[in-house]
Amino acid sequence: MKWIISIASSLLILGTSGGFIFHWHKDIPAQLKNTSILTAGTSKAAGKVTKKALKDIIHETQKEVVMIELDNGTLGSGFLYNKNGDVITNAHVVNGAKKVKIKTADAREFEGTVIGISKDVDVAVVRVPGMAKDTPLKMMKKKADVGDEVLALGSPLGLQNTVTTGIISGLNRDFDIAPFHYSDAYQISAPIAPGNSGGPLINSKTGEVIGINSAGTDQGTIGFSIPIVNTLPLVEGWSSSPMSELPNLSIGDSEDGTDTEADAEESPVDTAEYLVKYFYESLNSSDFVTAYSLLGSSWQKNLDFTKFRNGYLNTRSNSLDEIQTLQDGDICTVTAILTAEELKNGNYVYSKYKVEYTIGYENDQLKLLSGTGKKIQ
């Protein structure tokens, strides 16, 4: 027998934040230390099968999780699911919009077009041509089970790449939040915060998408996610044949599930600091390709990828402290104290550097235009 939930029983698309949350926008390096909770599994003795660390699964996933912004300032989340640049999100996130602004984890910005939206199921698809060359997330083709460990990713309150952890605590939940009907939804212990709607629910062991985060209780203790296997035929249909006209759904302001606070938008200073932190988070995950892609063309011209990569091979971890940023027009200068764990004479030692980066736009994309570092300890 399926569990039917009434909207009157305090189920909201909006949701509230809480639980175990990684606020990478605020403090990326602190979340990258190798602690037991950040290990997704250990090697098996037979065959030496090694699973990815949880931090690596998160890093790879959040590269394809985007922030969606409408002209009225409301925010939501979405994720890339195919090689056409198509992003899955909730219908309530993009309702009333044809064009939306997309912001990626590496601070790229694109225009997206809504090519499909359902009047009954809280699902929509946004086409982002600028992401067509990106690698989409893998979709799980079977249902999840109770007890499966999950990650809920999104951009709540304008904070990019925030992750909540939990488990699948229930299956086959049915309820209505007008005008949508949620059928066979997963109940999850990972709370869904404002702005997190439309982000992916990830199997923390495999990194595959198992659901679309959609609703949470007003207590913020549980959330609900639409199984991806139920929606793939619908979204794939829109990708093959985009809708020529989009319906305008009647959704109450208190139930739109997005973050509408005027102060939620990131300032240029916030974005510049985020980019520097994301640069080091990529290095900490040995994702040298992504880190190198954040450099401006002039910097890349004078530093080829091999030399760049070799410069970090003996560094196990980086963390930033005492971050200060000055803005001068469209240019921001970020200074910080960097603590690096480096291999010296066969042993890892900690060294401190004062680093400074110039952040600005190049071809309408935010880049690290230049950088310097001086050892201080």
Pair 136, 221 in one domain: yes
Pair 217, 202 in one domain: yes
Long-range contacts of 346-350 (CB under 8 A, 24+ apart): 348/316
> Rounded CA gap, 106 and 205, in Å?
24
Say which residue, 52 or 258, is predicted with more confidence. 52
Pair 82, 157 in one domain: yes
Check residue 30 and give its pLDDT. 32
What pairs with residue 163 in β-bridges? Answer: 22, 153
CA atoms within 13 A on the CB side of 265: 12
pTM of the shown model? 0.77
> Rounded CA gap, 210 and 212, in Å?
7
Q: Answer whether 191's CB lies under 8 Å from 19's CB.
A: yes
Pair 299, 277 in one domain: yes
- Whether residue 221 has pLDDT greater than 70: no
Pair 303, 218 in one domain: no
Q: What is the mean pLDDT of residues 49-63?
A: 80
Measure Cα distances from 66 to 105, 128, 172, 352, 361 in Å: 7, 11, 28, 33, 19
CA angle centred on 72, ends 269 and 235, rounded to 5°: 100
* Ranges 89-93, 155-159, 270-274, 289-293: which has the least confidence: 155-159
Q: What is the mean pLDDT of residues 209-223?
A: 77
Q: Which of 264, 293, 322 is the last residue of a domain?
A: 264
Q: What is the mean pLDDT of residues 151-172?
A: 79
For 332-352, write each residue's pLDDT tens digit.
Answer: 999 999 999 999 999 999 999
Structure tokens at 77: 């989340």
Pair 282, 234 in one domain: no
Say which residue, 112 or 195, is predicted with more confidence. 112
The CATH number covering residue 274 comes to 3.10.450.50
For 79, other C-beta atoms within 10 Å of its C-beta total: 25
Measure Cα distances from 179 to 74, 96, 234, 291 in Å: 19, 14, 17, 43
The CATH number covering residue 71 comes to 2.40.10.120
Q: Which residues contact 359 (CB under 8 A, 6 or more apart)?
A: 271, 272, 275, 276, 331, 332, 333, 334, 366, 367, 368, 369
Pair 257, 278 in one domain: no
Q: Which of 264, 297, 318 is the last residue of a domain?
A: 264
Pair 284, 301 in one domain: yes
Of the pLDDT bands very low, low, confident and very high (cuts 50, 70, 90), residue 43 is very low
Pair 25, 62 in one domain: yes
Q: Which residues are identified as catalytic? A: 92, 122, 197
- Whether residue 258 has pLDDT greater than 90: no
Of the pLDDT bands very low, low, confident and very high (cuts 50, 70, 90), residue 29 is very low
Q: Which of 204, 70, 234 is nearest to 144 (CA)?
A: 204
Helix 268-284 vs helix 54-62: angle between axes, to the nearest 10 degrees? 130
Pair 224, 304 in one domain: no
- Whether residue 38 has pLDDT greater than 90: no
* Ranges 126-130, 208-212, 286-290: which has the least confidence: 286-290
Mean predicted lDDT score pLDDT of the chain = 81
Q: Which of 264, 295, 325 is the last residue of a domain?
A: 264
Q: What is the domain range of residue 357?
A: 268-375
For 89-128, write each residue's pLDDT tens digit.
Answer: 999 999 999 999 999 988 899 999 999 999 999 999 999 9
Pair 137, 189 in one domain: yes
Pair 46, 130 in one domain: yes
- Whether residue 32 has pLDDT greater than 70: no
> How many structural domains are present in the chain?
2
> Rounded CA gap, 215 and 90, in Å?
10
DSSP state of 235: H
* Ranges 17-31, 106-120, 131-145, 252-266: which has the least confidence: 17-31
Provide the residue type at 237 as one letter.
Answer: G
